[in-house]
Protein backbone atom coordinates (compact mmCIF):
# COMPACT_ATOMS: atom_id res chain seq x y z
CA UNK A 1 0.00 0.00 0.00
CA UNK A 2 1.15 3.54 -0.63
CA UNK A 3 0.95 5.89 2.33
CA UNK A 4 -0.55 9.38 2.08
CA UNK A 5 1.69 12.42 2.07
CA UNK A 6 1.17 14.63 5.10
CA UNK A 7 3.39 16.88 7.18
CA UNK A 8 1.78 15.43 10.32
CA UNK A 9 3.28 12.02 9.66
CA UNK A 10 6.87 10.85 9.83
CA UNK A 11 7.04 10.71 6.06
CA UNK A 12 10.37 11.39 4.41
CA UNK A 13 10.53 12.27 0.74
CA UNK A 14 14.01 11.27 -0.38
CA UNK A 15 15.14 13.79 -2.99
CA UNK A 16 18.34 15.33 -4.26
CA UNK A 17 18.15 18.07 -1.62
CA UNK A 18 17.68 15.60 1.22
CA UNK A 19 20.04 12.71 0.61
CA UNK A 20 23.30 12.11 -1.17
CA UNK A 21 24.16 8.42 -1.05
CA UNK A 22 26.47 8.26 -4.04
CA UNK A 23 27.06 11.50 -5.91
CA UNK A 24 25.95 15.12 -5.84
CA UNK A 25 24.86 14.61 -9.44
CA UNK A 26 22.58 11.67 -8.62
CA UNK A 27 18.84 12.34 -8.35
CA UNK A 28 17.13 9.68 -6.25
CA UNK A 29 13.39 9.18 -6.49
CA UNK A 30 11.70 7.35 -3.61
CA UNK A 31 9.50 7.87 -0.57
CA UNK A 32 9.92 6.43 2.91
CA UNK A 33 7.81 6.19 6.07
CA UNK A 34 9.80 5.47 9.24
CA UNK A 35 8.62 3.90 12.48
CA UNK A 36 10.93 3.69 15.49
CA UNK A 37 8.28 2.79 18.08
CA UNK A 38 4.82 1.25 18.12
CA UNK A 39 3.81 4.50 19.83
CA UNK A 40 4.80 6.44 16.69
CA UNK A 41 2.28 8.53 14.75
CA UNK A 42 0.23 6.39 12.36
CA UNK A 43 -2.02 7.54 9.47
CA UNK A 44 -5.10 6.01 11.10
CA UNK A 45 -7.51 8.32 9.29
CA UNK A 46 -6.31 7.25 5.86
CA UNK A 47 -5.13 3.68 6.55
CA UNK A 48 -6.79 2.34 9.71
CA UNK A 49 -5.40 -1.16 9.09
CA UNK A 50 -1.78 0.03 8.95
CA UNK A 51 -1.25 0.36 12.71
CA UNK A 52 -2.55 -3.16 13.35
CA UNK A 53 -0.37 -4.66 10.61
CA UNK A 54 2.77 -2.97 11.92
CA UNK A 55 1.94 -3.84 15.54
CA UNK A 56 1.84 -7.51 14.55
CA UNK A 57 4.89 -7.44 12.26
CA UNK A 58 7.46 -5.45 14.26
CA UNK A 59 7.62 -7.81 17.30
CA UNK A 60 8.24 -10.70 14.89
CA UNK A 61 11.08 -8.75 13.26
CA UNK A 62 12.60 -8.09 16.68
CA UNK A 63 12.37 -11.82 17.48
CA UNK A 64 14.06 -12.74 14.20
CA UNK A 65 16.75 -10.13 14.80
CA UNK A 66 17.47 -11.63 18.23
CA UNK A 67 17.90 -15.06 16.66
CA UNK A 68 20.38 -13.63 14.16
CA UNK A 69 22.24 -11.78 16.91
CA UNK A 70 22.64 -15.05 18.82
CA UNK A 71 23.91 -16.80 15.70
CA UNK A 72 26.35 -13.96 15.13
CA UNK A 73 27.66 -14.23 18.69
CA UNK A 74 28.17 -17.99 18.29
CA UNK A 75 30.03 -17.51 15.02
CA UNK A 76 32.38 -15.04 16.70
CA UNK A 77 32.99 -17.24 19.73
CA UNK A 78 31.20 -14.89 22.10
CA UNK A 79 28.67 -15.42 24.85
CA UNK A 80 25.35 -16.20 23.12
CA UNK A 81 23.71 -13.14 24.67
CA UNK A 82 26.55 -10.69 23.91
CA UNK A 83 24.80 -8.85 21.09
CA UNK A 84 21.36 -9.25 22.66
CA UNK A 85 22.54 -7.19 25.62
CA UNK A 86 23.56 -4.45 23.19
CA UNK A 87 20.14 -4.38 21.49
CA UNK A 88 17.69 -4.39 24.39
CA UNK A 89 15.66 -1.31 23.39
CA UNK A 90 14.82 -2.03 19.76
CA UNK A 91 11.64 -0.27 18.58
CA UNK A 92 11.16 1.51 21.90
CA UNK A 93 11.88 4.95 20.52
CA UNK A 94 14.76 6.68 18.76
CA UNK A 95 15.82 8.36 22.02
CA UNK A 96 16.86 4.90 23.22
CA UNK A 97 17.64 2.91 20.07
CA UNK A 98 17.68 3.84 16.38
CA UNK A 99 16.23 0.57 15.07
CA UNK A 100 13.74 1.57 12.37
CA UNK A 101 11.00 -0.12 10.39
CA UNK A 102 10.73 1.59 7.00
CA UNK A 103 8.26 1.23 4.17
CA UNK A 104 9.82 2.26 0.85
CA UNK A 105 7.87 3.28 -2.21
CA UNK A 106 9.58 3.86 -5.56
CA UNK A 107 7.05 5.52 -7.90
CA UNK A 108 6.79 4.65 -11.56
CA UNK A 109 9.01 6.78 -13.75
CA UNK A 110 7.35 5.69 -16.98
CA UNK A 111 5.77 9.09 -17.56
CA UNK A 112 8.97 10.99 -16.89
CA UNK A 113 12.05 11.55 -18.99
CA UNK A 114 14.77 9.41 -17.43
CA UNK A 115 17.80 11.63 -17.64
CA UNK A 116 21.38 10.78 -16.78
CA UNK A 117 21.83 10.64 -13.01
CA UNK A 118 18.26 9.63 -12.17
CA UNK A 119 18.23 6.59 -9.91
CA UNK A 120 15.94 4.98 -7.36
CA UNK A 121 18.64 4.59 -4.75
CA UNK A 122 22.35 5.23 -5.18
CA UNK A 123 25.27 3.11 -4.06
CA UNK A 124 25.52 2.93 -0.27
CA UNK A 125 25.76 0.69 2.77
CA UNK A 126 23.42 0.76 5.76
CA UNK A 127 24.57 2.33 9.01
CA UNK A 128 23.77 -0.11 11.80
CA UNK A 129 24.28 -3.75 12.73
CA UNK A 130 22.29 -5.34 9.91
CA UNK A 131 19.13 -4.84 7.86
CA UNK A 132 16.29 -7.25 7.16
CA UNK A 133 14.90 -6.50 3.71
CA UNK A 134 11.65 -7.69 2.13
CA UNK A 135 11.31 -7.11 -1.63
CA UNK A 136 8.38 -7.26 -4.00
CA UNK A 137 8.79 -9.05 -7.34
CA UNK A 138 9.76 -6.00 -9.39
CA UNK A 139 13.50 -6.27 -8.83
CA UNK A 140 16.19 -3.64 -9.32
CA UNK A 141 18.26 -4.22 -6.18
CA UNK A 142 21.94 -4.89 -6.88
CA UNK A 143 24.81 -5.91 -4.57
CA UNK A 144 28.44 -4.97 -5.19
CA UNK A 145 30.46 -8.17 -4.86
CA UNK A 146 33.79 -9.27 -6.27
CA UNK A 147 34.27 -5.99 -8.08
CA UNK A 148 30.97 -6.13 -9.97
CA UNK A 149 27.28 -5.47 -9.48
CA UNK A 150 25.15 -8.58 -8.99
CA UNK A 151 21.35 -8.56 -9.20
CA UNK A 152 19.69 -9.51 -5.90
CA UNK A 153 16.81 -11.22 -7.67
CA UNK A 154 13.76 -11.46 -5.38
CA UNK A 155 13.10 -14.98 -4.08
CA UNK A 156 9.57 -15.56 -2.73
CA UNK A 157 9.40 -16.27 0.98
CA UNK A 158 12.91 -15.09 1.78
CA UNK A 159 14.41 -12.23 3.78
CA UNK A 160 17.56 -10.53 2.52
CA UNK A 161 20.09 -9.64 5.24
CA UNK A 162 22.51 -6.77 4.66
CA UNK A 163 25.52 -6.27 6.94
CA UNK A 164 25.75 -2.68 8.22
CA UNK A 165 28.71 -0.33 8.68
CA UNK A 166 28.72 -0.70 12.45
CA UNK A 167 28.96 -4.49 12.31
CA UNK A 168 31.93 -4.24 9.94
CA UNK A 169 33.66 -1.92 12.42
CA UNK A 170 32.63 -4.12 15.37
CA UNK A 171 34.05 -7.29 13.78
CA UNK A 172 37.23 -5.61 12.49
CA UNK A 173 36.21 -6.24 8.86
CA UNK A 174 35.40 -9.92 9.33
CA UNK A 175 31.90 -9.13 8.10
CA UNK A 176 31.94 -6.44 5.42
CA UNK A 177 29.12 -3.95 5.02
CA UNK A 178 26.87 -4.76 2.07
CA UNK A 179 27.20 -2.14 -0.66
CA UNK A 180 23.99 -1.97 -2.66
CA UNK A 181 21.84 0.20 -4.92
CA UNK A 182 18.42 0.15 -6.60
CA UNK A 183 18.39 0.66 -10.36
CA UNK A 184 15.56 1.54 -12.72
CA UNK A 185 15.59 -1.35 -15.22
CA UNK A 186 14.49 -0.46 -18.73
CA UNK A 187 11.88 -3.22 -18.76
CA UNK A 188 10.43 -1.88 -15.51
CA UNK A 189 9.92 1.54 -17.06
CA UNK A 190 8.09 0.00 -20.00
CA UNK A 191 5.80 -1.89 -17.64
CA UNK A 192 5.00 1.36 -15.85
CA UNK A 193 5.49 -0.44 -12.52
CA UNK A 194 6.26 1.09 -9.16
CA UNK A 195 8.44 -0.79 -6.66
CA UNK A 196 7.89 -1.31 -2.95
CA UNK A 197 9.99 -2.86 -0.21
CA UNK A 198 10.12 -3.10 3.58
CA UNK A 199 13.34 -2.64 5.55
CA UNK A 200 14.08 -3.26 9.22
CA UNK A 201 17.28 -1.42 10.17
CA UNK A 202 18.72 -3.00 13.34
CA UNK A 203 20.87 -0.79 15.58
CA UNK A 204 22.41 -1.23 19.04
CA UNK A 205 21.09 0.85 21.92
CA UNK A 206 22.24 4.46 21.61
CA UNK A 207 24.65 4.37 24.54
CA UNK A 208 26.41 1.13 23.55
CA UNK A 209 30.12 1.74 23.02
CA UNK A 210 31.42 -0.13 20.00
CA UNK A 211 35.05 -1.05 19.41
CA UNK A 212 36.69 -3.83 17.36
CA UNK A 213 36.10 -7.17 19.05
CA UNK A 214 39.64 -8.33 18.24
CA UNK A 215 41.14 -5.51 20.29
CA UNK A 216 42.40 -3.60 17.28
CA UNK A 217 43.49 -0.04 18.07
CA UNK A 218 43.04 1.17 14.50
CA UNK A 219 39.71 2.76 15.41
CA UNK A 220 38.64 4.57 18.56
CA UNK A 221 35.53 3.34 20.40
CA UNK A 222 32.35 5.14 19.41
CA UNK A 223 28.82 5.06 20.74
CA UNK A 224 26.11 3.68 18.48
CA UNK A 225 24.37 7.08 18.50
CA UNK A 226 27.55 9.01 17.66
CA UNK A 227 28.24 6.65 14.77
CA UNK A 228 24.71 7.13 13.45
CA UNK A 229 24.91 10.92 13.70
CA UNK A 230 28.22 10.85 11.84
CA UNK A 231 26.71 8.82 9.00
CA UNK A 232 23.66 11.07 8.89
CA UNK A 233 25.88 14.14 8.54
CA UNK A 234 27.57 12.49 5.55
CA UNK A 235 24.29 11.62 3.86
CA UNK A 236 21.59 14.19 4.60
CA UNK A 237 22.01 17.53 2.90
CA UNK A 238 19.54 20.34 3.61
Upper half-sphere CA count for residue 51 (Cβ side, 13 Å): 12
pLDDT of residue 26: 58
Query: Domain 11-235: what homologous superfamily?
Result: B-lactam Antibiotic, Isopenicillin N Synthase; Chain (2.60.120.330)
DSSP characters over 102-147: EEEEE---TTS---TTEESEEEE--SSSEEEEEE-SS--EEEEETT
Mean pLDDT of 156-177: 95
Do strands 118-119 and 27-28 pair parallel, antiparallel, or not at all (unpaired)?
Answer: parallel
Q: What percent of the chain has pLDDT over 70?
A: 78
Instruction: Check if the beta carbon of residue 162 is closer than 8 Å to that of residue 181.
Output: no
Give 143-166 pLDDT, tens digit per residue: 999 999 999 988 999 999 999 999
- What pTM was estimated for this model as a whole? 0.85
Give 104-124 pLDDT, tens digit per residue: 988 777 655 555 556 667 788
pLDDT of residue 14: 33
- 124 DSSP β-pair partners: 180
Instruction: Check if the beta carbon of residue 180 is closer than 8 Å to that of residue 125.
Output: yes
Amino acid sequence: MRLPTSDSYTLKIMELTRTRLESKNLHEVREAYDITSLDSVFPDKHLPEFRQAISELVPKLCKLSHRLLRCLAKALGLDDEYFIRCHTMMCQGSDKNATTFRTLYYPSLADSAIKAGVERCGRHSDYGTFTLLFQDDIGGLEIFSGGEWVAATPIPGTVLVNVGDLLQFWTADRYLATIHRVRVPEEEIRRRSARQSLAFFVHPDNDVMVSPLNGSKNHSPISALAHLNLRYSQTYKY
